[in-house]
């Protein structure tokens, strides 16, 4: 092999990255990745170029645009603020399930809720935050776990905040309708008691009943921005969200959760995530991907 062949040539910024309907260059991809990183903290590696193309080609089609270059110019401009939000929503991963990582709900039910619900019965408040709640299955699973222990939970000061950056998933969560397949992970007794068939779509989906719905408040919130909530929270679920962020951003998020948790506050994180950075000194392990604020009571 000649010396010439050993020279690594950089991929040209104008080279088309994906064969398809619209020209999509390295420069377009880098621009999109930079905007996603700036807005949502999400790191989009080069390996995701095809995925980005296929998700955003739909937006180009809807807008009647001919190139990704034009799309990038639009979302970078003042006139494209709304479309930039749609771009973000298209690029986030919203996969979720009822009772996903069920050991967290067992832990919540047996180790955490008994004290918290006793506290509520004595007139205290209980606050739980599902940060990055996607379409609502996580906060509703928390609500169902509470109802399984305290069927009249609505009488007490118990609230679950469910937040996500993506307004579409927040709206879906608020609506609270799920098809048979997504409901299959819900224990049958809970399903029977706390869900209602939905006549509006010919009973094809189930609606979350009032008791569970009343415990959950949905709102749009970007974890990269300001958090208006003061806390304290007794429990924070932030699962399978920071996995898309860079190390440094992950560490910053963990450090921001600590002061929002009350004594003994728990943090549940995703199966492939670990509390990292300076926050490791603030939390102790309390089970699989479960943490307790150091210095708190049991
Ligand atoms: C894979 S889902 C996880 C849903 C749920 N927590 C679970 O474990 O099943 C990740 C969610 O995080 C949200 N997300 C991504 N970046 C975010 C950010 N910067 N602020 C708030 N939510 C974000 C996405 O919109 C998506 O709904």
**Each residue of 2-27: pLDDT tens digit?**
334 444 445 567 778 888 899 999 99
Report the residue among 165, 223, 252, 269 best suited for mutation to probe ligand 1: largest number of ligand atoms under 8 A from its CB.
Answer: 165
168: Cβ below 6 Å to ligand 1? Answer: no
Mean pLDDT computed over every residue of the chain:
93
**Correct CATH for 3-91 of 1.10.3720.10, 3.40.50.1820, 1.10.155.10, 3.40.50.720:** 1.10.155.10
The protein residue with its alpha carbon nearest to ligand 1, atom 26, reads: 94
pLDDT bucket at 129, cuts 50 / 70 / 90? very high
239: Cβ below 6 Å to ligand 1? Answer: yes
pLDDT tens, position by position, 32-74: 999 999 999 999 999 999 999 999 999 999 999 999 999 999 9
pLDDT (mean) for 163-185: 95
Q: Where in the chain is the domain with CATH 1.10.155.10?
A: 3-91
Q: How confident is the model at residue 11, as a pLDDT?
A: 57
119: Cβ below 6 Å to ligand 1? Answer: no
| Residues 154, 171: Cα–Cα separation, whole Å | 22
Tell me, in angstroms, the distance from the centre of ligand 1 to residue 238's CA.
8
Q: How confident is the model at residue 2, as a pLDDT?
A: 39
Q: How confident is the model at residue 19, as a pLDDT?
A: 82
Residues recognised as catalytic: 55, 164
Domain 102-293, classified CATH 3.40.50.150, yes or no: yes
Q: Where in the chain is the domain with CATH 3.40.50.150?
A: 102-293
pLDDT (mean) for 239-252: 95
The protein residue with its alpha carbon nearest to ligand 1, atom 16, reads: 40
Tell me, in angstroms, the distance from the centre of ligand 1 to residue 92's CA.
7
pLDDT at 260 over 80: yes
pLDDT at 202 over 90: no
Ranking 1-5, 45-49, 81-85, 215-219 by mean pLDDT, the lowest is 1-5
């Amino acid at each position: 092999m000649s010396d010439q062949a050993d020279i690594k040539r950089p991929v040209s910024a104008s080279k088309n990255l994906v064969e398809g309907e619209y020209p999509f260059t390295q420069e377009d991809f880098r621009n999109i990745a930079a905007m996603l990183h700036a807005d949502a903290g999400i790191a989009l590696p080069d390996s995701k170029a095809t995925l980005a193309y296929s998700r955003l080609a739909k937006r180009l089609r809807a807008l009647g645009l001919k190139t990704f270059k034009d799309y990038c110019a639009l979302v970078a401009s003042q006139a494209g603020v709304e479309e930039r939000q749609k771009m973000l929503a298209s690029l986030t991963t919203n996969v979720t399930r009822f009772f996903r990582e069920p050991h967290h709900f067992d832990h919540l039910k047996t180790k955490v809720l008994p004290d918290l619900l006793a506290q509520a019965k004595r007139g205290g408040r209980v606050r739980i935050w599902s940060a990055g709640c996607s379409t609502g299955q996580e906060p509703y699973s928390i609500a169902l776990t509470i109802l399984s222990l305290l069927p009249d939970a609505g009488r007490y000061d118990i609230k679950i905040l469910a937040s996500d950056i993506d307004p579409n998933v927040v709206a879906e969560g608020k609506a609270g309708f799920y098809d048979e397949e997504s409901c299959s992970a819900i224990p049958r007794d809970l399903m029977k008691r706390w869900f209602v068939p939905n006549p509006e779509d010919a009973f094809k989906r189930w609606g979350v009943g009032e008791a569970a719905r009343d415990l959950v408040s949905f709102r749009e919130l970007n974890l990269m921005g300001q958090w208006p909530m003061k806390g304290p929270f007794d429990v924070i679920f932030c699962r399978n969200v920071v996995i898309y962020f860079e190390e440094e951003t992950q560490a910053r998020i963990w450090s921001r959760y600590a002061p929002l948790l009350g004594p003994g506050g728990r943090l549940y994180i995703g199966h492939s995530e670990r509390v990292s950075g300076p926050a490791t000194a603030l939390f102790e392990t309390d089970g699989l991907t479960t943490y307790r604020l150091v210095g708190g009571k049991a």
